[in-house]
Chains A and B, each alone.
Chain A
Amino acid sequence: GAVVSQHPSRVICKSGTSVKIECRSLDFQATTMFWYRQFPKKSLMLMATSNEGSKATYEQGVEKDKFLINHASLTLSTLTVTSAHPEDSSFYICSAQGTSGSVYEQYFGPGTRLTVT
């Protein structure tokens, strides 16, 4: 299957700082990327949908000024957690969908564990 990478895999930051997480589709072009967060022993919760070259669509309850998403190219989307607080500590996973738009072609990255101290 296709490969999606995330960087970094793990990050610890201090409260009040900003953290950028990258999601890359390595061997295919992704017109749509999705960002999820997952709390311990919980399921994935969709945060936002990002389409290349346009503004992201955020789910209800997700602050767009806090979780900045940029999808500048067909292979890269970034999520920036601004002014991070301990409650933002979570596992963040992206998925990338190929240009066919088929849900079969949605591949997940390995996730980024964010710890805010």
Chain B
Amino acid sequence: EDKVVQSPLSLVVHEGDTVTLNCSYEVTNFRSLLWYKQEKKAPTFLFMLTSSGIEKKSGRLSSILDKKELFSILNITATQTGDSAIYLCAVVVTGTASKLTFGTGTRLQVTL
């Protein structure tokens, strides 16, 4: 059975801190790993990672994949209160028509 685990489950930091969120997976026929941010409602897409070692960056957020060790990290630098959300990672395996298997999620709270 495909498995995606995120850590930590929840995290409280002060504004300005840097955080690293982890996502490890055990799946058959890995294709891609995606990161989403969920505030109150719909998850919004952040990154898709397919190849090891290539960092994806968007503003203060960055992410990288290690296909040998089967994990990905999402970094957020200089956190702001607007970064407070649940961060979800999801894995797509080949031959499943882009079916997403989600991890447990990390709830991030950024305080002033």
Q: Report yes or no: B88 in contact with A97, Cβ–Cβ below 8 A.
A: no
Cα distance A102–B31 in the bound complex, in angstroms = 12
Question: Would you call A93 an interface residue if the criterion is a C-beta within 8 Å of the partner chain's C-beta atoms?
Answer: yes
Residues of B in contact with A, size category: 20 to 34
Cα distance A102–B98 in the bound complex, in angstroms = 7
Count A-side interface residues using an 8 Å CB cutoff: 26
Binds A, one of B51-59, B60-68, B72-80, B100-108: B100-108
Q: Report yes or no: B104 in contact with A110, Cβ–Cβ below 8 A.
A: no
* Apart from A103-B32, A103-B92, 17 more pairs, CB < 8 Å: A1-B45, A32-B97, A32-B98, A43-B102, A43-B105, A44-B43, A45-B102, A46-B101, A49-B97, A93-B42, A95-B100, A97-B98, A106-B100, A107-B42, A109-B42, A110-B41, A110-B42
